[in-house]
Amino acid sequence: MTSAYEGLNFFKTDIGHHEYGEGKVRDEVDRIDALATAPQTTIDSFADLDEKKILRKMDLRLIPMLALLYLLSFLDRGNIGNAKIEGLQEDLRMSPDEYNWCLTVFFFTYAAFEVPSNLLLKRLRPSRWLPFIMVAWGTVMTLMGIVRSFHGLLISRLFLGVTEAGLYPGCAYYLTMWYCRHEIQLRQAMFFSAASIAGAFSGLLAFAIAKMDGVGNLEGWRWIFILEGLATVLIAILAFFVLHDFPETATFLTEKEREFVVFRLKYQGQFHGKEQGHPQVAQAEEFEWKYVFAAFKDWQIWVNIFVYWGIVCPLYGISLFLPTIIRNLGYSSSTAQLMTVPIYITAAILAVIFAFLSDRVGKRSPFVIAFLVMMIVGFSMCISSTNPRVVYGGVFVVACAIYPAFPGVVTWLSNNLAGSYKRSAGMAIQIGVGNLGGAMASNFYRQRDSPQYILGHGLELGFISAGIIAALILVVSYATINKKRDRIIREGGEAQFTAQELSAKGDRAVTFRYMI
């Protein structure tokens, strides 16, 4: 009887965000924000709350759905690689260069629409915007299953980029609206590891769906697009009811728990937080274009993009070409699909383990740099040998470095951007411009270079090396700025600013400390 009641209660709390009308959502957000930032509110006001219990409740309600959304996103984005080895290129009579163009154009529209999508996410509410774009890209994916020519596939991939652009940066930013910077990488990794699972799942799924070859007079690769696209639309309908918008309106938390979650987020990253005798600097939440422009002008975002490229180029190189690379080593297409599974499963487990460690020690750069070095080792194995076992081992090493490193680099930047809308725009710029690396990587592995792919592996090594240099520049710069701000604080320099001025400065305020 108890379990039945709890199940009913869980269902009620998960659809509870739809009880709020548009105006009521805004009013409730403002009310909880006012309580959390009231002068008399301090961390001691929440001494009776169990922080770990609250985090567990948030994890249960947020992470599984986000992981499912991103699994479908990565599945739909990368399944063209599976379709290729099931005959897509031959059936559409495409040349190798035309196939590569179909991979490349996706990233142009994908990069262009990420910033607008992230800015709309908060204004239109996550529970509406994310399911909407899912329905859009699921429809495009389904229609890819009926294309008849190179031009049809090319246009479909362009529209897939438009519709799918908002999902990953949206989910990554959405998590920053709930979790503090010292605990968020674990959550980023938990939902991003779904991409790794998608890599394994796509191989298994493609292997099974390809058996439908001839059903409805359609080739097996067409069914890969059609069925995975329809699954995305169905899950989008579920997401509309299950996704929660903001901590302020979370019906699965009590009012005091909501205040606590908001309080933690408002004052994170500050040197003094809300200590007696120091300015109480809350994070800026209101939308102003100056915060968006500040993101475009922030040096750290553009340096971080080089680190991002050092990770995302290998990521897309692996996800788009791994089945082909393995098949060209002499294995059948079905064996090639199945041999990708252990790589991705291991990578997913490592992503979560190292994210937990990174959160625990409060450092990002040591892990990101170590995994970049690990990628160099893996690609060096691939480029220096024609032995299938050595190449497979090298790819294994690379994948096991990429998947823990990716949430690390995204989290690192989000940790160091203060102000909700600046963080929204900054993360979208990082992921949008950064994903142009996918456009580059989709042309690294040319069919005429198989089976050793010296050019592709060599280019990956170049981007990884640039990523290491950029990461070291960030570490030195952050450490220098933090020391300078420590000195200003010791000299009482923050007293010349009001709390509102410090809040507007965001991560440029003397009270803010960059995470290294």
Residue with structure tokens 């629409």? 113
Q: Hey, what are 356's tokens? A: 């937990």
State the DSSP H helix or E strand holding residue 131, giving kind and residue range, or none if neither: helix 126-144
109: Cβ–Cβ under 8 A, 6 or more apart, which residues? 158, 159, 161, 162, 165
**Nearest Cα residue to 279 out of 34, 31, 30, 37:** 37
| DSSP H stretches of helix in 328-453 | 333-339, 341-361, 365-383, 388-415, 420-434, 436-441
Entry pTM: 0.83
Q: What phi, psi does 430 have (nearest 5°)?
A: -60, -50
Give the angle 197-201-207 at the CA atoms, nearest 5°: 160
User: 327-346: string of b/e by CB count within 10 Å (b at 16+)?
Assistant: bbbebebbebbbbbbebbbb
Residue 342 pLDDT: 83
User: What is the pLDDT, as a whole number, of residue 146?
Assistant: 93
User: Looking at residue 154, what is its pLDDT?
Assistant: 95
Interior CA angle at 322 toward 321 and 328, to 5°? 90
Report in angstroms the alpha-carbon separations of 416 from 55, 409, 473: 22, 11, 15
Polymer length of the chain:
516
Q: Residue type for 204, please?
A: L
Q: φ and ψ at 512, to 5 degrees?
A: -90, 140
> Within 13 Å of residue 247, how many CA atoms lie on the same side as its CB?
26
Contact 13, 62 (CB under 8 A): no
CB 249 within 8 A of CB 25: yes
Q: Rounded to whole angstroms, how far apart are CA atoms 512 and 21?
A: 36
Residue 114: HSE in the Cβ half-sphere, 13 Å Cα cutoff: 28
Q: Which residues contact 221 (CB under 8 A, 6 or more apart)?
A: 82, 83, 84, 86, 87, 88, 91, 210
Q: Determine the pLDDT at residue 4.
A: 40
Instruction: Fill in the DSSP letter of residue 489.
Output: H
DSSP 269: T
CA separation for the pair 452, 328 (Å, rounded): 9
Place of tokens 């990554």: 172
CA atoms within 13 A on the CB side of 424: 26
Only one residue has tokens 């690609």, namely 379
Following DSSP, what letter does each residue of 286-316 receive, concatenated? S--HHHHHHHHT-HHHHHHHHHHHHHHHHHH
Q: Tell me which residue of 140, 88, 94, 143 sits closest to 320, measured CA to CA.
A: 88
Q: Which residue has the tokens 């400390």?
A: 513
The answer to whether 77 and 160 are in contact (CB under 8 A) is yes
Q: Sign of the C-alpha dihedral, residues 184, 190, 194, 195?
A: positive
Phi-psi region of 49 (alpha: psi -120 to 50; beta: other; left: phi over 0): beta
pLDDT, tens digit only, all 516 positions of the chain: 444 433 434 333 444 455 455 667 778 888 988 888 888 888 888 989 999 999 999 999 999 898 888 888 877 877 887 788 788 999 999 998 899 899 889 888 988 899 889 888 878 889 999 999 999 999 999 999 999 999 999 999 999 999 999 898 899 889 988 998 889 999 999 888 876 676 666 767 777 888 888 788 888 889 989 998 999 999 999 999 999 999 999 999 999 999 999 998 887 765 444 444 455 565 656 667 888 888 999 999 999 999 999 999 998 887 766 766 777 677 766 676 677 778 888 888 999 999 999 999 999 999 999 999 999 999 999 888 888 788 888 888 998 999 899 999 999 999 999 887 888 889 999 988 998 887 888 778 777 887 778 888 899 999 999 999 999 999 999 999 999 999 988 888 777 877 777 777 888 888 888 999
